[in-house]
Structure 1
């Protein structure tokens, strides 16, 4: 027992305390058959008494694995990505794996820096929400045996890999059609930067809905850029001051929707107590659900970030378990959630 006092208890300490062979302790610790119930109970009691913990790091390294994966997302504080991250963690935990997470902030250089830092720590696999369009830097890592999967957006140039996205164009088409069905013909589109895959796909769905309704595409009704409050406020004021202003807004993600609601409230002045929504007289449908949307009565096109995280993690762990075959691309559906703001008729 002197070895136990010098440091962490070992399997030899447990074997001595339980009065069994080292192989018996190994079988109990690894849930292998061949140990009778009373002996297993004695081993478990010794483990509890000594505070023994299995060295999973050494165990996985002997198998050429580290039991860890890297997850690179846009922003860990974004509710969409927090839901995705939690789902990835849940799947990883079931697989006995740890997740290292980092935020790229939509910066391709930071994405690459995070990915290579995770690779330097010998993660077994990577899940990446791409910030850039060049992923050729991943080729040596993939050739070295690291599994890679992409979420929310497809990768740019570089190795092909499993990818899970949502039906961005279809969701935007549904949201725009919903506004058209309520009599709107001047529908503005406020979205993220056009360099982002999801933003351009949602713009495509918006344009397709207008075309199907026989309406022209008006670039003056489109405002795309970073989702910061000042930019959204400036664009919204420009839109509402047009000679023929929009009667409805389609907002391209949750951050844009929140920024738009704040901008509308700021433009309208103090919000009366008891108003059900801060959206004012303009109809709104937003892409992405967000926590206060139900309280504010905001109609949204809802994605499933938890489903996306679960799907991409399952694809990654299948690759880690040895599954081969061509890369898969999954496209998850969206759904319209009606709450009132998208059902207002034109003023």
Structure 2
């Protein structure tokens, strides 16, 4: 700790606070300490029984963006179930949307000498996190890749899932489909936008002025929907649960032409909405269990090249995606 403090230009107490992920340390100080730890190759080992390098603690750490969302809840369940099958304990922490906190959690789990890390960051500014993973702790990224694809990763089929939504609407007769997403700084947001554009191009559908990305404020959504309906849009694809809920709020208050709607990611009580919402369901539990499998393969064979696993999505057709008014299409046998 003395060497880390000297290299970082701070006190041993501050180093201890950073290592233990305590709040109240300035971000630039946290970055200096973490950089010093990485440069010196130090890790704090908790517990006398685990001081010898190479001793397994039979535990893995999971760092999430958010513990409350249904996607992350299902992902955690998949991770925990598969870890339990291996006789491993799961330690979980939430970054609460803070990339610097995510970095502190990674260091804290490493200090507790977990055998491996699973990280589902999806945070703006987390490039430092993925670039400075502890070198002696194997890690798997979930739901987004590292910048250079140099780390094992398990991803949802974002582009393919959005394409499912577009093709479904096109087959029902929609020829003008819009896309509503959130902050394009998120990798998943860009992937789904690109999937929408590619699927529309494949179908020969227009996209100019029909893609809206940004803060999901009522004002922005109202302006987007107003412009879309004036341009003849008959259907909207939303890029995640937040966008789906925001659009549903607007459509509930809105009068005017009906808009078909397909949302990316399953929504709690989607089948109880009026009309029930057609969704592209992600296999969050499958992503979690696949990540654990990759991690244990990495633990068994550290020299494996980096691997990327893409988990398929599933279109769940309900009644929110009918043909446009005045058009007809054969009913889908999965309508409900």
The answer to whether the 8 Å contact 1:193/1:225 transfers is: yes
Cross-structure match for 2:164: 174
210, 213, 221: which one pairs with 1:224?
213
The answer to whether the 8 Å contact 1:134/1:156 transfers is: no
Separation of aligned partners in 2, 1:266 and 1:115: 44
Cross-structure match for 1:235: 220
Deviations 1:122-161 (A, max 9, x none): 2221111132465455666543x2010011110125x821
Deviations 1:269-311 (A, max 9, x none): 9xxxxxxxxxx82100111112211222111111100100000
Q: 1:188 to 1:138 in 2, by over 3 A?
A: closer
Superposed displacement of residue 321, structure 1? 3.2
Residue 241 of structure 1: SS of its match in structure 2? helix
**Superposition map of 1:143-162 within 5 A:** 143=135, 145-156=136-147, 160-162=150-152
Superposed displacement of residue 260, structure 1? 1.5
TM-score for the superposition, normalised by structure 1: 0.72
The answer to whether the 8 Å contact 1:285/1:341 transfers is: yes
Separation of aligned partners in 2, 1:138 and 1:171: 26
The answer to whether the 8 Å contact 1:183/1:346 transfers is: no
1:244 to 2:231 alignment: yes
Superposed displacement of residue 338, structure 1? 0.8
Separation of aligned partners in 2, 1:170 and 1:248: 18
**Superposition map of 1:1-347 within 5 A:** 64-130=55-121, 131-132=123-124, 135=127, 141-143=133-135, 145-156=136-147, 160-218=150-208, 220-227=209-216, 231=217, 233-242=218-227, 243-268=230-255, 281-296=258-273, 297-346=276-325
Separation of aligned partners in 1, 2:245 and 2:124: 25
- Structure 1 gap ranges (5+): 1-56, 270-279
Separation of aligned partners in 1, 2:75 and 2:113: 23
Superposed displacement of residue 331, structure 1? 0.8
Q: 1:198 to 1:137 in 2, by over 3 A?
A: closer
Deviations 1:69-94 (A, max 9, x none): 22111211110110001111112222
Q: 1:344 to 1:60 in 2, by over 3 A?
A: farther
Matched positions, count: 274
Q: 1:60 to 1:94 in 2, by over 3 A?
A: farther
Max Rg structure: 1
Cross-structure match for 1:27: none
TM-score for the superposition, normalised by structure 2: 0.74
Deviations 1:189-232 (A, max 9, x none): 111211111111111111112112223321x32222245xxx1x
Range moving further from structure 2, 109-118 or 131-140: 131-140
Deviations 1:28-58 (A, max 9, x none): xxxxxxxxxxxxxxxxxxxxxxxxxxxxx77
The answer to whether the 8 Å contact 1:286/1:299 transfers is: yes
Residue 83 of structure 1: SS of its match in structure 2? helix
The answer to whether the 8 Å contact 2:176/2:206 transfers is: no
